[in-house]
Amino acid sequence: MAILLLEMLGPKIDSWKVNIIATDIDIKALNRAEEGAFTLKQVEGIQPALLKNYFVQENNSFSVKPEVRQLVTFKVHNLAGDPPYQDLDLVICRNVIIYFISTLQSRMLTGFHEGLKKGGFLLLGKAEVLIGEMRRMFECLDIKAKLYRKIAECGM
């Protein structure tokens, strides 16, 4: 996400308030992600121009450049129990909620709705769908991409 924003905004990114919050319940996974170090195999699908612009190669490993890292904050967060973050423009939750029972899925999606700003966006994984009342909380913008927009007043 940070690289995508840097690509789209270029030097104008400094005039935007960008803070990407990357969360997981697993502290070890967060620590690995925060290191920003990848093997040659892990980056093989990344376009060479993006590798050149946003990574530093050291032998057979690649490290994320500081201008990418400074946009991301890593935090431990339990989607099933912790209160949702607030005032968000976009929530990306891909291939996570499918592993939970429907009551937890509803709780998580309600939390995303509460945390998003009016008109904020929700991006889900390919296998994920909005269930029950959740379909009244979000407007589908692109079913194939699983992109939704928060409906401010959903009558719940």
Over residues 64-114, the pLDDT tens digits come to 999 999 999 999 999 988 999 999 999 999 999 999 999 999 999 999 999
Q: 61 burial class (0-12, 13-18, 19+ CB within 10 angstroms)?
A: middle
More confident residue, 148 or 153: 148
Contact between residue 122 and residue 116 where contact means Cβ atoms under 8 Å apart = yes
**Which position has the token pair 């990344």?**
46
Fold: same for 2-73 and 78-150: yes
Half-sphere exposure of 26 (CA within 13 A, CB side): 4
pLDDT reported for residue 144: 94
Global model pTM greater than 0.85: yes
- Give the pLDDT score at 128: 92
Mean pLDDT of 9-23: 93
Average pLDDT for residues 118-128, to the nearest whole number?
A: 95
pLDDT recorded at residue 15: 92
CATH domain 78-150 topology:
Rossmann fold (3.40.50)
Q: Residue holding tokens 């945390």? A: 115
Q: SS3 for 82?
A: coil
Phi-psi region of 155 (alpha: psi -120 to 50; beta: other; left: phi over 0): left
Average pLDDT score over residue span 111-133:
93
**100: nearest Cα among 120, 78, 121, 85:** 78
Q: If one looks up domain 2-73 in CATH, what number appears? A: 3.40.50.150
Q: What is the pLDDT of residues 21-75, one digit of tens each?
A: 999 999 999 999 999 999 999 999 999 999 999 999 998 899 999 999 999 999 9
For the chain, the structural domain boundaries read 2-73, 78-150
Q: Among all chains, which residue has been given the structure tokens 């904020």? A: 120
Indicate the Cα dihedral angle 52, 57, 63, 64, nearest 10°.
Answer: -10
For 144: left if phi > 0, alpha if psi spans -120 to 50, otherwise beta; the answer is: alpha
What pLDDT, on the 0 to 100 scale, is given for residue 116? 96
Q: What would the mean pLDDT of 15-24 be, rounded to a whole number?
A: 94
